[in-house]
Amino acid sequence: MKLDNSKTMNRRQFLIKSGWLAVGVTATASCSPIYSSLPALPSTDGPEWADAITWIQIMPNGKARFYCPRMEMGQGAPLGLSQVVAEELNLDQSDVECLLPDTQQIPRFRMTVGSQSILDFFDPVSRAAANLRENLRAMAAERTHYKPAQIKDAPGGFVLPDGQRKDYTTLVTDKPLLLTETRSIEDGLKIYSKNKNRNRRAIGNPWKHHELEAIVTGQPLYARDKSLPNMLYGQVLRPAVYGSKLINADVRDAKKMPGVTAVVVDKGANFIGVVTEHPSQLNAALDRLKLKWREPKARGQAELNDRLNVMRVRREDKFEHSLVSQGQMRQKPRPTHLSAAGYFETSFAAHAAMEPRAAVVSVKPKSTEVWCGSQDPFFVQRLVAKAIGYASDTVIVYPQRIGGGFGGRVPCQASVEAAILSKAVARPVRVAWDRETEFAHNYFQPRYSHYISASATREGVIDSWQHDFVSSPIITGLVPDNIAWIVDKVVADEGTARGSLLPYQVKNQSVRYSDIRTPIPIGAWRGLGSAPNTFAIESMIDDLAKAAQMDPLVFRLKNLPTTEKRLVKVFNRVAAMAKWGRELPEGVGLGIAGAIYKGES
């Protein structure tokens, strides 16, 4: 099996870094971070078989240790994948130890985004666990002289033809045994997790989250709770206006403040931060800084709104991208048809995560350690390495639980800030953003501006649909300004357009959009463009239903194609749950809406 040679880590290193003390059974493959002069980019590698076999170990106590390649931020993906491990290895929940791996324990994995953790990682996790199970069965056969086919499954191990048990604890001793990719079983490998006829012991069963009580009582630790010996505290001062450049910094008064260890200034990088002995001293030190900024031309809300105004782009007829153009689009609807038109908009929005981001970083002469919450620890690894001029493989990121903010936690800006400050003072530094910083200086969901005009027959069949909208790039929103113009010429931002295609059947339709950059930093958001686009589409569907004097649910079901049986079931199920059609009290409304996310759900 061909491996990615850019991910080399020898087996002894892997054993040490994954917690081995010359005991345990695991499957190993090559793995190490990459050091590159290219810009640091998020991790998009799909899960490979050679990676998957490094995720699961059987320990001498018979339990499985699962280095989960998905970050935990409240969605529960590690719990679901732990069930897959348990199913394949015939283990109970208490027998699976699920860990968030650091960047030297397993190969680089795709950032945790897109609501695809189970979809993308079910197969590699189940296959890796099944391979480990069958290799253990082969070991049992070698030691008992039975054929593997004669050895049957049992909880926590196997049962021999003579009725004796051969538990994992008897197979895994104090002598390390490595199961490499060369021992993988390709033909006839049984995946228990996919067997619908199997009496499943884990998948489909209501596992309680092992940290449930701790979460409810506030016990789990986050990055801002991390403390190291000799640790200092840092904070970075940012300009009031986006795009400002630091011209001059008078830091003399700040340096004289009690508890101030250092003031770090890098005008070329637009960076100024302070380091103190106690976090309570940070704000006072920042207040003593005398800074001069070159501010760009101020852009008010009205100017931003005009730049992202679909009606302006319609007048100029300069839409950048066409998603759908089919049938005949009329300037005016047929006289015999019903019509509706509407303008819909959603504003810029902040993630407002429960936990403002934070990081603890310890930069040493030849290595760096980072504790932070991120959807992509390997991205943080590369960002930190570039910021301090280190090779990526000298930076270890220890992922911490993330307190919400789906999509907004791919980078951890605080980790880069803490790394720069730690390198300057040669001591560990913690940088913890406050709520104000989180709202003002993280990236945002972009504004959306929609215009939709549509028509339907008097029988309630949608005949035409024209949807124009304007927003900003989301997936490429954080691309540096110096290359953004190149990216925009060759890439139509799929994230901006996500959710803009109709699930309904319409012969004549046009969908156009422009993704226009503004000075506001834009980045990933839960569902990307799906929510604002669905809001506009389903609002217009309601308007058409009203024009046709039809029940909104009946109108939707009438216009869904026969291929969308699942969405039909969902609409009917939701309507039944909501008791659709019941009489409502005065002033109370009941609505229904639906969409297909990424063509899958």
pLDDT digits (tens, 9 = 90+) for 323-333: 999 988 777 76
Strands 64-67 and 25-28: unpaired
* DSSP symbol at 355: S
> Is there a single domain that holds both residue 142 and residue 115?
yes
Q: Are 42 and 409 in contact (CB under 8 A)?
A: no
Q: Is 539 exposed, middle or buried (0-12, 13-18, 19+ CB in 10 A)?
A: middle
**b/e map 50-80, b = 16+ CB within 10 Å:** bbbbbbbbbbbebbbbbbbbbbbbebebbbb
In the chain, the N- to C-terminal Cα span, in Å, equals 34
Under 8 Å CB-to-CB from 535, ≥6 apart: which residues? 344, 346
The residue type found at 15 is L
- For the chain, the maximum distance between any two Cα atoms, rounded to a whole number of angstroms, is 85
Cα–Cα distance, 593 to 466 (Å, whole number): 19
Cα–Cα distance, 425 to 427 (Å, whole number): 5
Q: Which residues pair with 396 in a beta bridge?
A: 369
Which among 41, 114, 34 has a CA at the least distance from the CA of 483? 41
> Is there a single domain that holds both residue 431 and residue 449?
no
State pLDDT tens for residues 230-289: 999 999 999 888 888 999 999 999 999 999 999 999 998 999 999 999 999 999 999 999
> Is there a single domain that holds both residue 568 and residue 477?
yes
> Is there a single domain that holds both residue 198 and residue 170?
yes
Q: Is residue 153 helix, strand or coil?
A: strand
Does residue 1 form part of some domain? Answer: no
State pLDDT tens for residues 277-300: 999 999 999 999 999 999 888 778
Q: Which residues pair with 341 in a beta bridge?
A: 453
> Is there a single domain that holds both residue 338 and residue 379?
no
Residue 510 has a pLDDT of 95
Distances (CA, A) of 59 to 2, 56, 65, 470: 28, 10, 7, 55
Token representation of residue 308: 């992202």
CA torsion angle for 368, 373, 378, 381 (degrees, to 10)? -30
Token representation of residue 377: 């620890």
Cα–Cα distance, 86 to 498 (Å, whole number): 35
> Is there a single domain that holds both residue 50 and residue 190?
yes
> Is there a single domain that holds both residue 279 and residue 340?
no
Which among 291, 203, 209 has a CA at the least distance from the CA of 254? 291
Does residue 580 form part of some domain? Answer: yes
Evaluate if residue 4 carries a pLDDT over 50.
Answer: no
Tokens 């018979």 correspond to what residue? 62
Q: How many residues does the chain have?
A: 601
| Overall number of domains in the chain | 3
Under 8 Å CB-to-CB from 393, ≥6 apart: which residues? 32, 33, 34, 35, 104
> Is there a single domain that holds both residue 311 and residue 358?
no
C-alpha 223 chain-centroid distance: 18
Distances (CA, A) of 271 to 253, 420, 440: 18, 9, 17
Highest mean pLDDT (candidates 24-28, 122-126, 174-178): 122-126
State pLDDT tens for residues 397-454: 999 988 888 877 888 899 999 999 999 999 999 999 999 999 988 889 999 999 999 9
Q: Which residues pair with 159 in a beta bridge?
A: 152, 165
Last residue of some domain: 414, 436, 458? 436
> Is there a single domain that holds both residue 212 and residue 247?
no
Evaluate if residue 10 carries a pLDDT over 60.
Answer: no
> With bands split at pLDDT 50, 70 and 90, how would you rate the model's confidence at 180?
low
> Is there a single domain that holds both residue 479 and residue 592?
yes
Q: Are 407 and 526 in contact (CB under 8 A)?
A: yes
Q: Is residue 281 helix, strand or coil?
A: helix
The H or E element containing residue 208 is none
Count the neighbouring beta carbons within 10 Å of the beta carbon of residue 205: 11
Last residue of some domain: 175, 193, 216? 216
Q: Is 188 exposed, middle or buried (0-12, 13-18, 19+ CB in 10 A)?
A: exposed
Domain that holds residue 72: 11-216
Last residue of some domain: 388, 417, 436? 436
Does residue 2 form part of some domain? Answer: no
Evaluate if residue 480 carries a pLDDT over 50.
Answer: yes
> Is there a single domain that holds both residue 308 and residue 452?
yes
> Is there a single domain that holds both residue 22 and residue 75?
yes
Q: Which residues pair with 362 in a beta bridge?
A: 369
The CATH number of the domain where 29 resides is what?
3.30.365.10
Q: Are 70 and 113 in contact (CB under 8 A)?
A: no
Does residue 569 form part of some domain? Answer: yes
* DSSP symbol at 303: H
Distances (CA, A) of 403 to 125, 373, 418, 439: 25, 8, 19, 15
Does residue 449 form part of some domain? Answer: yes
Does residue 3 form part of some domain? Answer: no
Which among 487, 470, 469, 490 has a CA at the least distance from the CA of 478? 487
Token representation of residue 219: 């016990």
Q: Which residues pair with 98 in a beta bridge?
A: 66
Does residue 5 form part of some domain? Answer: no
Rounded mean pLDDT, 171-180: 63
Does residue 4 form part of some domain? Answer: no
Evaluate if residue 13 carries a pLDDT over 70.
Answer: no
Residue 463 has a pLDDT of 94
The residue type found at 143 is R
Q: Which residues pair with 418 in a beta bridge?
A: none
Rounded mean pLDDT, 476-490: 80
